[in-house]
């Protein structure tokens, strides 16, 4: 069959194309590369959505949260003051997706719908309680990002549905996403961890912790969260949270790391994310993203 292509000028046009079997392409940074690597051939029928103005932009919502259009690029996310200040872990994650040659074509929507268990933005979105807004010709529905991601490369979205936006509820406190990587750019998490905490006076109020590239889909780690919540956020609690993250890991061995190495690094990377999230909640202004390797950068974070 000969391949077909439409560049959608409006959302209804894109939805009609999806309803008749086309697959969407925005930045193409996963789709086209995946086809080259033999993961999945490029779809025969493509609808390009990069021109849809209604899928762009970051807006404050009435409830003190943010609505992020699916076409917002990683570069836009890193540059956005509200994302950096209130959803810092998402800024950390967006800052290390691909390279500067992918961050402004690669989109948040694409990162989410590609549903890699190693994707950078998933952990932060799940910790912030993000919802995906899915639209089709038959209407709109909202699905928690935690429920949208059902497995490697799989989502709960129907083929005729388009992700149009991600909505984040109001957030307080501090957060961080950290990953183990072998290269600063054109890398994806070997192991990743997210932490978001709120403070109650000097103590930790609530805590959310998620692990990336350690389970078939990115998940929260309740044991790590309860190790932190209500405590002093000191070294003992951080250690316990890291150990809980490692215990929750079900890593695979592949060309990038063995399962044993991933499990060992789960504790290290989780501690790094937790430490930075607590420091940020207490007012420290760590760089975004935090250094990949504290030792190499001469910053002793312990």
| Residues within the interface to other proteins (CB under 8 A) | 2-5, 7, 25, 27-29, 32-33, 35-37, 42, 46, 48, 50, 75, 98-102, 104-105, 183-186
The DSSP output letter for 220 is E
Q: How far is the CB of 131 from other proteins (least distance, A)?
A: 28
Angle at the Cα of 297 from the Cα atoms of 239 and 105, rounded to 5 degrees: 95
Give 50 or 141: the residue with its C-beta nearer to other proteins.
50
Q: How far is the CB of 26 from other proteins (least distance, A)?
A: 9
CA distance 7 to 5: 7
Give 27 or 242: the residue with its C-beta nearer to other proteins.
27
Give 35 or 144: the residue with its C-beta nearer to other proteins.
35
Q: How many residues in total does the chain contain?
A: 302
The three-state DSSP-derived secondary structure of 171-184 is CCCEEEEEEECCCC
Q: How far is the CB of 67 from other proteins (least distance, A)?
A: 24
Give 27 or 192: the residue with its C-beta nearer to other proteins.
27
Helix (H, G, I), strand (E, B) or coil at 215: coil
CA distance 294 to 75: 24
Q: How far is the CB of 78 from other proteins (least distance, A)?
A: 12
CB 171, CB 205: distance < 8 Å: no
Give me the torsion for CA of 193, 244, 272, 146, rounded to 10°.
20
Helices (H), the chain: 11-19, 31-36, 74-79, 81-86, 88-95, 100-103, 108-114, 122-127, 145-148, 222-228, 235-248, 259-281
Q: How far is the CB of 279 from other proteins (least distance, A)?
A: 21
Give 132 or 162: the residue with its C-beta nearer to other proteins.
162
Q: How far is the CB of 27 from other proteins (least distance, A)?
A: 8
Give 192 or 289: the residue with its C-beta nearer to other proteins.
289
Q: How far is the CB of 199 from other proteins (least distance, A)?
A: 32
DSSP per-residue codes, 122-168:
HHHHHHTT-EEEEEETTEEEEEEHHHHEEETTEES--TT-EEEEEEE
Give 45 or 198: the residue with its C-beta nearer to other proteins.
45
């Amino acid at each position: 069959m000969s391949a077909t292509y439409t560049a959608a000028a409006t959302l209804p046009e894109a939805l009609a194309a999806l309803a008749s079997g086309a697959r969407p392409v925005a930045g193409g940074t996963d789709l086209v590369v995946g086809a080259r690597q033999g993961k999945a051939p490029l779809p025969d029928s493509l609808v390009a959505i990069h021109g849809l103005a209604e899928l762009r932009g970051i807006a404050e919502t009435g409830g003190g949260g943010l609505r992020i259009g699916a076409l917002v690029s990683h570069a836009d996310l890193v540059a956005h003051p509200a994302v950096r200040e209130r959803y810092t872990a998402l800024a950390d994650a967006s800052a290390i997706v691909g390279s500067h040659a992918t961050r402004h074509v690669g989109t948040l929507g694409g990162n989410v719908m590609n549903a890699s268990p190693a994707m950078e933005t998933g952990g932060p979105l799940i910790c912030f309680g993000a919802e995906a807004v899915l639209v089709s010709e038959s209407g709109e529905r909202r699905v928690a990002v935690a429920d949208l991601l059902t497995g490697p490369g799989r989502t709960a979205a129907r083929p005729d549905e388009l992700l149009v936006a991600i909505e984040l509820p109001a957030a307080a406190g501090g957060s961080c996403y950290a990953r183990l990587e072998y290269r600063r750019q054109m890398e994806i998490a070997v192991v990743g961890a997210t932490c978001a905490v709120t403070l109650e006076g000097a103590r930790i109020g609530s805590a959310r912790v998620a692990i990336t590239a350690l389970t078939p889909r990115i998940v929260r780690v309740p044991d790590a969260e309860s190790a932190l919540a209500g405590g002093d956020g000191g070294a003992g609690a951080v250690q316990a949270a890291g150990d809980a993250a490692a215990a929750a890991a079900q890593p695979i061995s592949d060309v990038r790391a063995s399962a044993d190495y991933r499990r060992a690094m789960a504790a290290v990377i989780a501690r790094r994310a937790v430490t930075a999230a607590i420091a940020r909640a207490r007012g420290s202004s760590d760089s975004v993203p935090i250094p990949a390797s504290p030792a190499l950068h001469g910053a002793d974070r312990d």
